Structure 1
């Protein structure tokens, strides 16, 4: 089965909540008031708290795991490391958003005993409003 260029179905909707944003911000050590305090976020023009720039990982990881677990792809998640990550925002993720993620395999490569998958994930509201696109590269050591 050809995987390069394959697009996977949208994920189940993810409800972005204030507490999830706060927990994520605390876990990564960011203290910007807009991540923790609705009034501070509103003072910046947002309707509620906003998520730190790397928050889309929470939404893309389940989709990534489904792809890497596909037996036809033969990608060993246990041997995987995260090789790269980029984000292109249309607008910040906000508490109250209901988001879905559509993931595509952009490129597959094998080189020097390493297999890599380049992924693109388009995250949008359930109403179809684009929010952020992410690109990531997963790298796995080949069999010993």
Structure 2
């Protein structure tokens, strides 16, 4: 089965709220070598005007992953995980993610472009806070290999 072109425009239900924890931010910062004190020290983050530690920009992938799992689990998508490569990633922030945020993601498939025997699937995850305010839009391109 090839990637279903009818995915374009599909919007998935919002994810369950994700509470951003201080230790998760610290762990993520260590994993991506984000050494600025604002990522690990609440006092340093507060000196910059934030309520708690600030997540590195790529932390949004934690929330986006929850949305992409919905897409990958869709039986009619034609997407086979074993033939999938994460090809591109972009973030457009309104504000940084801070420990204590409760975030929800909602995924929309914005493009399916045939590519050889496979396809490139573009999606956008809108991440909002508990008040419904926009935090970040995370855009991913998945390269899906075709069947032999």
Q: Same fold (TM over 0.5)?
A: yes
Task: Could you tell me which runs of 5 or more consecutive residues in structure 2 were left unpaired when the two chains were aligned.
Answer: none
Cα deviation digits, residues 35-80 of structure 1 (max 9, x gap): 0000000111111101000001111112102202211011011111
Counting matched residue pairs gives: 144
What TM-score do you get using the length of structure 1 for normalisation?
0.96
Cα deviation digits, residues 84-118 of structure 1 (max 9, x gap): 11101100000000000011000011121231210
1:29 aligns with 2:33: yes
SS at match of 1:55: helix
Superposition RMSD in Å? 1.1
SS at match of 1:103: strand
What TM-score do you get using the length of structure 2 for normalisation?
0.93
Shift >2 Å, 4+ stretches: none
Kept in 2: contact 1:69–1:77 (CA 8 A):
no
1:93 aligns with 2:126: no
Task: Could you tell me which runs of 5 or more consecutive residues in structure 1 were left unpaired when the two chains were aligned.
Answer: none
